A and B are shown apart, each in its own frame.
Chain A
């Protein structure tokens, strides 16, 4: 197991290096220049040149990359142009908020996805199976943005039962209870698509097993259907883990719309803002963090996979 893990970690290093290079080059390609963003259009040529030199922007690109990477490795991602505070602080807060939202959404993704998928596989062609298949398809096809708007309009504004946005009450912020209330709608909106996908994929995995020799063998031994299903579910668990891991990664990086509609101060909203402000250090740092999170989650999934399925370790 140790060697397996070590191998995975070693493989992650070149992946991350590649990611950092792509991030650095891509951000350089965005139109707009940080010196103008920082000094404004009326700045003199002298002060522009001075700042360009101070930011190291006059150095050749490879040198800039190595310097940036060196700083990034020590946790220094520069200073946000728009906010004038260290990028690490801005990103840390936003990432924390996104993780809260992603974890809250992850619960219905896994639980709902597994239940819908299992039911779809267990009752193929019968009404409970069809209903669950239909629900999964509906969840996938409902546009996240529209669902978010409808939740705001009908649940938050219409009934007043739940807040329409933010993480805490604006006038009088409360504790975890307040946070939980504010999480319900955005987590629901964020969870639908990944939950549907999880259900579809889990259903396929389960169906494959239920049609396979193992289940035939179990049934031949006269085991009750309940026990057969449990065995099938156990064998489909690695698939669920893989799918779930992917969806968690998706939630961490992909909830821009939900964060925008619900004014959730997370990574998606931060990156969107940074792009419109040409806040290059924040864009670079943010994309890097997302990429690292993606690689990290996949690494964890691989590790867990190895833990529950000995075949993978070989």
Chain B
């Protein structure tokens, strides 16, 4: 079915392009209808997710789109990402805590809480609220918790050994082992009003408060006028799930929504010509193949490097992805602290690839199989990208058989450490550092996922050292060194870093697209 969907989606793209050309005089979409002059307007976002994110605190995070539009808008943790600038990786700053200190062993952290903050329902925020939320996230048998909630929170609170209220404005967290990225972790552990636990209406301290919800259809958020950073400019923020790319595009073009996530690369030029804005920026994203480093001939590092020299990433990023992605010449995504321009080693060099294959004893190449998901969050155009790589690799004698699989099935297999069809590689995308707490899932000998059995003890040590250090500079340096080794070991075929494209109607103003998965929507307005 999905194949048919993909094939026919092309038909709509063509048709829409024709219609757009015919109605170019319209100059894009008509504004969302409920606009009152002189105000911030109504922003209607068409999300890629199949359903509205759960608004109950940490349950909205799948694929990060839920955090972007719901979690980080309704709630705040003790810290937050400063998403106000397009340049540089979005840094961490205070949210419900104004400052924090740590013991020398980086296990005991003390947070000073922001004073005068009130939840959307008027309940004052204090240390008791923090403790109540952390109890709900971590304490066995907490009356307001569920297994799913604690599992989701566990990704970020997993390092907690204990926590306590020092006084009304200070809390202390002690971690099991030194945890240098604790301030990053607590950004994801939202603090909800304890008065709202178990209630239908979510209550946080974020810049937007809950308005209304029609399950499966629309979630309406309203500006929280008393927010400590000042009121957001919008009058209303409406979220709609529109998983089908063609339907999303149609919704934008007809003015039903004025913002869509991930327009397909083929539509980008036509959208720009039609007066729509298509902001992009680098963020922590890598599209790659995981190679089975225990299977011959991929077990030979020279073969893996050869493949990395054989592929033409520039053409792929320019022609197939229409500039919505950057070529990835190394393991570390561009928009991360681990990225070092000097680490960009894999240029397009088929001659070098052939020489390396000859050196490894496979001068005539070999046959291999890769499993490719047909779709999936962050996977861009998985099958066309894989086919492009297949053509490049064939040039140096590596004959690739592509086996497609539904994304949910692939993910389920990978999560249990397996690879479908007994294949030699998996194509997919990932984030690495957006949440440092999640990094061990994707990289390292002990990853519970299928990682192609890649193991380098030096990399493990460096990652552990980075994670234990509270100093950002030390962490960045260790991550850089570790990812430099990964680049050399080439357990992956590094392909592209996505640039996070979204399409906005000309009426949407004030968006700053940061180098992050997340967005600050407080500066956005929609003009008439």
Contacts and interface: CB of A to CB of B under 8 A. Distances in A.
Contact of A43 (B8, B59, B151, B216): B151
B244 A260 contact: yes
A31 interface: yes
Contact of B415 (A36, A97, A164): A36
Contact of A263 (B16, B155, B247): B247
Contacts of A262: 247
A232 B250 CA distance: 46
B342 interface: no
A83 B151 CA distance: 14
Given A31-B412, A261-B246, A158 B151 contact: no
Nearest to A272: B50
A84 B148 contact: yes
A32 to B, nearest CB: 4
Given A94-B216, A149-B15, A165-B242, A170 B148 contact: no
Interface in A275-295: 275-278
A205 interface: no
A157 B406 contact: no
B56 interface: yes
Contacts, number: 179
Interface residues of B, number: 69
A41 B449 contact: yes
A60 interface: no
Given A37-B412, A51-B147, A171-B238, A90 B215 contact: yes
B240 A170 contact: yes
A152 B217 contact: no
Nearest to A40: B151
Nearest to A89: B215
Interface in A96-134: 97
Interface in A167-211: 167-173
Contacts of A41: 414-416, 441, 448-449
B254 interface: yes
Interface in B379-438: 406-409, 412-416
A289 to B, nearest CB: 15
A81 B23 CA distance: 44
Contact of A163 (B42, B243, B254, B406): B254
A21 B54 CA distance: 31
Given A157-B16, A172-B33, A270-B216, A84 B250 contact: no
Contacts of B56: 84
Given A41-B441, A84-B56, A171 B44 contact: yes
B456 interface: no
Interface in A22-68: 31-33, 36-43, 47, 51, 54
A262 B218 CA distance: 14
Nearest to B216: A265
B247 A165 contact: yes
A176 B472 CA distance: 57
A51 B250 CA distance: 43
B151 A261 contact: no
B254 A38 contact: no
Given A261-B244, A278-B408, A84 B146 contact: yes
Nearest to B376: A276
B149 interface: yes
A170 B44 CA distance: 7
Nearest to A32: B412
B512 interface: no
Contact of A173 (B4, B155, B218, B406): B218
B236 interface: yes
Given A149-B12, A278-B412, A160 B59 contact: no
A93 interface: yes
A54 B146 CA distance: 12
A63 B251 CA distance: 47
Contacts of B415: 36, 40-41
A82 B415 CA distance: 17
Contacts of B161: none
A273 B5 CA distance: 14
Given A36-B416, A260-B243, 17 more contacts: A31-B413, A33-B416, A38-B147, A41-B441, A84-B56, A153-B19, A157-B20, A157-B23, A163-B254, A171-B44, A173-B218, A269-B50, A269-B216, A273-B50, A276-B50, A276-B407, A276-B408
Interface of B: 1, 4-5, 8, 11-12, 15-16, 18-20, 22-23, 26, 30, 32-34, 42, 44, 50-51, 54, 56, 59, 62, 146-149, 151-152, 154-155, 158, 214-218, 236, 238, 240-244, 246-247, 250-251, 253-257, 406-409, 412-416, 440-441, 448-449
14 contacts: A38-B151, A42-B441, A51-B147, A84-B54, A143-B8, A146-B8, A149-B12, A152-B12, A160-B30, A170-B238, A171-B238, A260-B5, A261-B244, A278-B408
